[in-house]
Amino acid sequence: MAMVAQLHRESSSGSINKHLDSGKYVRYTAEQVEALERVYSECPKPSSLRRQQLIRGCPILSNIEPKQIKVWFQNRRCREKQRKESVRLHSVNKKFSAMNKLLMEENDRLQKQVSQLVCENGYMRHQLQSASATTTDASCESAATTPRHVLKDTNNPAGLLLIAEETLADFLSKATGTAVDWVQMPGMKPGPDSVGIFAISKSCGGVAARACGLVSLGPTKIAEILKDRSSWFRDCRSLEVFTMFPAGNGGTIELVYTQTYAPTTLAPARDFWTLRYTTTLENGSLVICERSLSGTGAGPSTVAAPQFLRAEMLPSGYLIRPCEGGGSIIHIVDHLNLKASSVPEVLRPLYESPNIVAQKMTIAALQYIRQIAQETSGEVAYGLGRQPAVLRTFSQRLSRGFNDAINSFNDDGWSLLNSDGAEDVVVAINSSKNLSAGSNNLSFIGGVLCAKASMLLQNVPPAVLVRVLREHRSEWADFTVDAFSATSLKARLYAYPGMRPTGFTGSQIIMPLGNTIEHEEMLEVIRLEGHSLGQEDAFISRDIHLLQMCSGVDENAVGACSELVFAPIDEIFPDDVPLVPSGFRIIPLDSKPGDSQDTLTAQRTLDLTSNLEVDPETNHGAGNATSSYSARSVLTIAFQFPFESNLQDNVATMARQYVRSVISSVQRVSMAISPLGLTPTFGPKLSPGSPEAITLAHWICQSYSFHVGTELVMADTIGAESILKTLWRHQDAILCCSLKVLPVFIFANQAGLDMLETTLVALQDITLDKIFDDAGRKALFSEFAKIMERGFACLPGGICMSTMGRHISYEQAIVWKVFAAEENTLHCLAFSFVNWSFV
């Protein structure tokens, strides 16, 4: 026994190892153990050539067999793994202990809530039996619910301190008590691997959300992060502390003015004038609570105030309790009244949903703190050698620039341009735009122009749509427009897109930079491979690089906002690279029974499917499905373009056409991914009062055959639908224009849309005279009398122009009259551009 005890003591000191083959113990001297430890620390890998060199170069290890040295290293590695596992298990045990404590507190709160509900039930029964008691209790309840802070003077510290103490009590009753009827948030199940416990209000004034979780940071650090609301709350435009004074009990009282962004272009932004109270409780917990001060006119008066609507923050805040062994348990409550009655009815779910408040504020705050904690501990790895703080700054700048574009505040220098007659796309310019990020400043000669629109999506999952937009950029984006924006930023050359024609190979490479720990947000660099269409630039790279942020790809996240925001950058972009973001935002609306009236009232700017042709049977089925259930979301699109002063009108026209083109592409994508199976055909619905597409295709082909004497489509094409399909896929660009004082295009096949670089939605905004140059207009006018007399004419080859400003050559243009209804009514003029190509 004495021998075994001695062997155990020597083994624990590292001087004895058991040989795996013989089972015998080998004794090492202290010098040998020190030498082996030194070798192991320099070369922990077993198959390292460097390790063998160190062993051979150490004379004190020369008398030890190689197998024995190998066994020592194996045992040393096992002891290292055991130590790491012991540390990990200890950390997990602390986490489970803290979570268990949290769950026990939550269970106690639920028991209190059950008891309160039982008491209220008995109380209501008693009231039903006694009418007089009902009157008395109602008067008492009315007096009890009168907000006492209204009676206090907010102009002196004593009155503010009373309001602060009431705010603290109200907040604690929500965070750990039963002041609000909390229910578990859908899709958020508590457990060891979850971020925390999340709940939303069931029925209360305003909308409220609550979260509690364990974070491996100290209370002071957490409080510092949470007070800097603009760092983690993406909708926060600015936060300014106007007054701060001590509360006399070790705490501080602050008067805070906060401005938040509007999520869409269809409603004004919100601002808050609040009192924020920071104090420490007797048990060592740190509390930050906040509430609005009474009076919508209270607070600072700013230039941008008319663009904001004053919202109300009911008692909210953060309770941070330190844990034994490090870390903190944090309780978060957000309770807001966003004045939903001031927005269109179709948008009210955005301002009445506790799920959206939870995702944007409550969960975002807890996730951001956990992200900082893991970055501090070194558990997060990022690509391209970027530091986590730099990548967070990139994401914040992309989000802030996108929000600035959507809101276009006057005090930022934005102003609206006159509309072109359509209300679907709003264009704003900022002539004083100065993109500054550290030492790299970029002031545009003309400024920045933004084209934006918002619309309603029906039965389209936001997470699926944003994934499709991210992974299939070629389905909606125009590479020429990307090249225009990138060139303007890279070289400060404001060349119009048509001046340097560039082609897109279709290849898109996504290079990830990093993502948050819950993978709710991704930051990446996109490389679009392009090539020059001109011989003089054949060997110059035309690749476009974009910095892109994508979020909200989880379909199970109830109320989560999905975004795809990107900005052109240089191939090697510095940390302070100027960013001009553009992108998409999709916010889900709470599903509710068929609300066809909302869809009808939003025809112009909120109806996404009004211009798509759907098969009659499919459309009928979809209507039945939508009448029973309607999953809706709001899509907001904003694209920014740098411009030079003398090109403002051209860039504005291009921006409108491009955004309408993107809208048309999103329409097709939305219909394709709709779970109800609403799939569009290849053709459009024409404007109200015009014939159906099939009938018009028949008229075009019949009139061509009558006037020209040859067939426009193959003679063996049978059936009206086949004629339309063949005409749509015809290799020549076929366009139809009206016979008004100012002729506009009313139809184009796929080749015609490609030639004009436009969409079916924007086609009717293009007039005939805009596509021809002077020679083309003269040729058309000279042949117009012949067209009216003979029914057709052949125009010589020439040059025309697309809506993007690019020049197009064609060998010949055939013009003929299109008759309707038995050749007695002239309906329109048709054009066929033969063998067209971009110059």
**CA within 13 Å, CB half, 149:** 22
Q: Is residue 11 over pLDDT 80?
A: no
Residue 194: predicted pLDDT: 59
- Interatomic CA distance for residues 381 and 393, integer angstroms: 16
With residue 38 as reference, give the H or E element that holds it. Answer: helix 30-42
C-beta separation of 803 from 831 below 8 A: no
SS3 string of 213-225?
EEECCCHHHHHHH
Environment class of 764 (CB within 10 Å of its CB; exposed 0-12, middle 13-18, buried 19+): middle
User: Any idea which of 110-119, 678-687, 782-791 has the lowest mean pLDDT?
Assistant: 678-687
Residue 76 pLDDT class (50, 70, 90 cuts): confident
What confidence score (pLDDT) does residue 295 get? 57
pLDDT classification of 47: cutoffs 50, 70, 90: low
Predicted confidence at residue 732, as pLDDT, reads 92
Between 114 and 376, the higher pLDDT residue: 376
Q: pLDDT grade, residue 381 (50/70/90)?
A: low
69-83, 336-350, 395-409: which has the minimum mean pLDDT?
69-83
Give the whole-angstrom CA distance, residue 421 versus residue 521. 38
pLDDT exceeds cutoff 90 at 107: no
pLDDT of res. 597: 36
- Minimum mean pLDDT among 547-556, 564-573, 660-669, 718-727: which range? 718-727
Q: Which two tokens stand for residue 21?
A: 């083959």
Q: Are 814 and 831 in contact (CB under 8 A)?
A: yes
CA distance 729 to 732: 9
Which range (233-247, 256-270, 717-731) has the least confidence? Answer: 717-731
Q: How confident is the model at residue 625 (pLDDT cuts 50, 70, 90)?
A: very low
8-22, 171-185, 193-207, 737-751, range with the lowest pLDDT: 8-22
pLDDT of residue 419: 66
Residue 21's H or E segment, with its range, is none
- Assigned token pair, 590: 């709470």
Only one residue has tokens 């909708």, namely 235
User: In this model, does residue 36 exceed pLDDT 60?
Assistant: yes
User: Which residues, 6 or more positions from 739, have their beta carbon under 8 angstroms from its beta carbon?
Assistant: 826, 828, 829
Is residue 328 within 8 Å of residue 215, measured between CB atoms? yes
Confidence at residue 567, expressed as pLDDT on a 0 to 100 scale: 93
Torsion angle in degrees (nearest 10) through CA of 750, 756, 759, 765: -130
pLDDT at 539 (0 to 100): 46
The proportion of the chain whose per-residue pLDDT surpasses 90, expressed as a percent, equals 25
Residue 2 — pLDDT band, cuts 50, 70, 90? very low
Q: Which of 316, 106, 133, 291 lies closest to 213, judged by CA?
A: 106
Q: How confident is the model at residue 511 (pLDDT cuts 50, 70, 90)?
A: confident
276-290, 516-530, 614-628: segment of lowest average pLDDT: 614-628
Count of residues making up the chain: 839
Alpha-carbon distance of 791 to 785, in angstroms, equals 9
347, 192 contact by CB (below 8 A): no
- The answer to whether 564 and 466 have CB atoms below 8 angstroms apart is yes
And the tokens for 371?
């992200």
Give phi and psi for 72, each to the nearest 5: -60, -45
**Which stretch of 4-18, 622-636, 690-704 has the lowest confidence by average pLDDT?**
4-18
Residue 208 has pLDDT above 80, yes or no: yes
Q: What is the pLDDT of residues 770-792, one digit of tens each?
A: 888 888 888 888 888 888 888 89
Residue 596: its pLDDT value, please? 36
Give the integer Cα–Cα distance in Å for 741 and 519.
57
Query: 667, 671, 810: which is closest to 735 by C-alpha?
Result: 810
117: which residues sit within 8 A by CB, 6+ positions away?
none
pLDDT tens track for 561-616: 899 999 998 877 777 888 999 999 999 886 543 333 333 333 333 333 233 333 33
CA distances (Å), origin 777, targets 375, 433, 557, 763, 772: 65, 39, 57, 20, 6
For 307-351, the pLDDT digits (tens) are 899 999 999 999 999 988 788 999 999 999 999 988 888 888 899
Reply yes or no on whether the pLDDT at 90 is more than 50. yes
Distance CA 260, CA 339 (A): 14
What is residue 385's predicted lDDT score, i.e. its pLDDT? 61
pLDDT (average), residues 489-516: 58
Asked if the model's pLDDT at residue 676 lies above 60, the reply is no
* Residue the block writes with tokens 């436009």: 758
Confidence label for 513 from pLDDT (cuts 50, 70 and 90): confident
End-to-end CA distance of the chain: 97
Element (H, E) at 726: helix 720-728
Q: Is the pLDDT of residue 195 over 80?
A: no
pLDDT mean across residues, the chain: 76
Query: Distance between CA atoms of 569 and 386, rounded to whole angstroms?
Result: 16
Is 177 a residue whose pLDDT tops 70?
Answer: yes
pLDDT at 759 over 70: yes
Residues 318 and 287: beta-carbon distance below 8 Å: yes
Task: Work out the pLDDT band at 66, boundaries 50, 70, 90.
Answer: confident
Helix intervals (H) in 43-156 = 49-56, 66-129, 131-144
Cα four-point dihedral sign 86, 90, 95, 101: positive
Residue 436 has pLDDT above 60, yes or no: no
In this structure, the number of other CB atoms found within 10 A of the CB of residue 73 comes to 19
Question: Under 8 Å CB-to-CB from 269, ≥6 apart: which residues?
Answer: 237, 259, 260, 261, 262, 307, 308, 309, 407, 409
Q: Which parts of 295-408 fold into alpha helices (H)?
A: 348-352, 354-357, 363-376, 388-407
Average pLDDT over residues 481-494: 64
State yes or no: pLDDT of 621 exceeds 70.
no
Single-letter amino acid, residue 372: I
In sequence order, what are the residues at sequence separation of 6 or more whose Cβ sits closer than 8 angstroms to the Cβ of residue 389?
A: 375
Give the Cα separation of 111 and 703 in Å (integer).
81
pLDDT of residue 299: 65
Using alpha carbons, list the distances in angstroms from residue 660 to 115, 271, 408, 754. Answer: 58, 32, 20, 14
pLDDT above 70 (res 482): yes
User: How high is the pLDDT of residue 554?
Assistant: 81
Residue with tokens 């898109």: 508
